[in-house]
A and B are shown apart, each in its own frame.
Chain A
């Protein structure tokens, strides 16, 4: 392994290219689709234990607090919402009813939604899931301790702005429960509300066992598994929930007896273990631990290893929002875009095998994606310092100081070096500011922060433009801790977002979102960095490792442990 001089060989060509990837549309399934049990996986065997190696533990286990992909992915086996995504053998998703009998019924053009609870759903203590639980699940989202999760439902529901949660005995009138049906009344039409409810944050919580803050440590399951043992920062075990009835679940197969999630593995360490493929590591799958950039070459050039790689295009786009409050000059922002060392950053991130240079905010797999390249990245992937400098000069801002915030990590540090070199070549003065990992998002999320440019990324919460653009680019979503990091508040963009979200026709809407993408790029409010290609290496004894297109993670409930 002394030299890596010779090329990786032909395998290079087989790596997926984002540019060629199809957009992934998720259809809405029928009632029949929503009826369990889930189709058997050919060749799957029951029993055994599946392990995982991952870097971080989950900060939250209370569904209302879950917004992070890892947490969402890992809780699929224990949490069920009204709706969910069902995967076919190839991993193509359909939106179906999960706890509900179907994917919901919309009235008033989307202002009223009704769902019916399935029969035979039980909590892990054997008690039936009741409609009171349903109501409670949604009402508790308004409690003060819920600070992390998404706010869609809270914002959509009529009266949601005043409601303070169920704990003082008040209930929310816009949620109506009648027998097994639950009806939501929304402020404005939301044709995709059933997609919204598929988010993990809206999974069911038993009223009886709701311990408020403490529920975060001890969620109660109604899925095929339950938490047996949790050791924060170290490990977590899921064991079977005997009260789960497969017939009620169209989404989940439950082959292994146990899942053991092991935390605290840096990328390099976990990759090495998968490469070694010894002992229980043979049964290990990654949740979010990709092949470390340092090992990509080794893994992808080795035919044996490559067989064990799950390769998928994620919906996420990583980009660098520019703080519009601080950098008001369009030319300066454009200059940043021109100067950006796309190719070098791609190289640092592991090369074309794990990321593709982005020129848009939309990922190519998200419906609505339109290809465009406003800043000539395709032609000059290494950046165009000359043009950038010219723009800066035009704006009279040569020597403009840019404070770049980045998290403390190996790759981030290298990235920062590359960016600094590139931007300084274009005439900027760059200040690299390392920010505590733990408070990074808090810090850049503050309105009056001291940074001009920072790394962020977003993947839509369900596959359309609304959840891509509204949270991050609507002027209505500016505030401390909100995700409009660029603090973009452009009237025309705001208007366009509002308009697009009202379009019921999917085709039409997608087009509108594609335009918004371009509008924002014209304002240069952001430097798109790359689209992510995931390379997940897994143990040799894990069967049916599938990419879950909708939840954008490894489909935990489709795995089985080979004998």
Chain B
């Protein structure tokens, strides 16, 4: 296990390193001067030079990257804003706030959105998939399959607005989506996120229903499931302890990937529901050509994906003893 973790975490770090380098390089592929943005109306060359120094962009690109990298691990001294402790992802070009703090501040929103939606779609999707598998070919199966298919064909911004219109504005069943920290007001937290969760879930559930169903159907036809039945175990026992066990692997895999992507930014969702999460931060940093923020967000997103990949593999090994971690 330790070997596995060491190896995978090293691999993950390398991937993140490459991703950050690519992002860095691509950002500068278009000639533009971030200093110009903060220089404002009365910009003199001295001002520009000062701002460049403050932002730490008065070096060649590789050197900048090196300083940035060093900052991440060892902290870094900024001309304009003093020392920035490790992990230092720099200061935003657009409004000079520390990137790390901003991201940490936005993270709870995105995490709430992601985990909440994940809980909803996992429960709904897997539940529906199980029912469908149990009632193969019956009405319930057909219903679950087609409903899920319809769900997966919808777009967040399409359903999102319609749902807001009907459920919030017209019927008043749900609250306007909004963000309140859980620690501040759990009820508001919940009611503000309920609609985004549901909308996200509609779209994701489909995939889980289908996958759960197909996995279970496949597993149920496995020889070892037949053996279990031949031993005299009850249907329910066989279903949950044998078939479901086998079906879990791929579901966990996809779940991990989805969770990683969601945390990396449910950009469209956050945009649709005006939630102040990582996704919107990303859009904003793109709008403002804010490299440090963009880098931070990209790394967070990639990190989430990589992290959940490792988790998935570890969980997979727990589920399936045939897989050895190394």
Contacts and interface: CB of A to CB of B under 8 A. Distances in A.
Interface of A: 57, 59, 65, 67, 144-148, 151, 213-214, 216-217, 231-235, 263-266, 269-270, 272-273, 275-276, 278-279, 281, 408, 436-439, 441-442, 445, 480-483
Given A233-B281, A438-B288, A269 B54 contact: no
A57 B39 CA distance: 18
Nearest to A216: B96
Given A59-B95, A148-B40, A437 B288 contact: yes
B47 A275 contact: no
Contacts of A265: 274
Contacts of A480: 43
Interface string B17-49: 000000000000000100011111111101100
Contacts of A147: 38-43, 47, 51
Q: Select the residue from B38, B47, B290 with max chain A CB neighbours within 10 A.
A: B38
A232 B95 contact: yes
Given A147-B47, A481-B43, A276 B289 contact: no
B280 A438 contact: no
A233 B176 CA distance: 20
A481 to B, nearest CB: 4
A444 to B, nearest CB: 12
Contacts of B284: 233
A214 B39 contact: no
Contacts of A145: 47, 50
B80 interface: yes
B250 to A, nearest CB: 37
B176 A273 contact: yes
A480 B42 CA distance: 7
A234 B169 contact: no
Contacts of A148: 40-42
Contacts of B106: 234
Given A213-B54, A439-B289, 15 more contacts: A59-B95, A145-B50, A232-B102, A234-B106, A264-B276, A273-B178, A275-B169, A437-B287, A438-B288, A438-B290, A439-B32, A441-B41, A442-B39, A481-B39, A481-B42
A270 B80 CA distance: 36
Contacts of B281: 233
Contacts of A231: 105
A384 B180 CA distance: 53
Contacts of B289: 436, 438-439
A213 B80 contact: yes
Interface in B93-135: 94-97, 102, 105-106
A265 B46 CA distance: 36
A441 B36 CA distance: 10
A482 B168 CA distance: 46
A269 B274 contact: yes
B175 interface: yes
Interface residues of B, number: 42
Given A216-B96, A438-B289, A234 B276 contact: yes
B81 interface: yes
B164 interface: yes
Interface in B118-175: 164, 168-169, 175
Interface string B266-289: 000000011010001100100111
B287 A438 contact: yes
Given A279-B188, A438-B37, A213 B169 contact: no
A434 B265 CA distance: 25
B255 to A, nearest CB: 29
A151 B43 CA distance: 12
A145 B287 CA distance: 24
Residue with the greatest number of chain B CB neighbours at <10 A, chosen from A147, A214, A217: A147
A544 B5 CA distance: 62
Contacts of A269: 273-274
Contacts of B168: 272, 276
Contacts of B178: 273
Interface centre among A216, A231, A275 (most CB of B within 10 A): A231
Contacts of A213: 54, 80-81, 96
A302 to B, nearest CB: 12
Contacts of B105: 231, 234
A264 B177 CA distance: 13
3 pairs of A and B residues whose beta carbons are closest in the complex: A148-B40, A147-B40, A438-B288
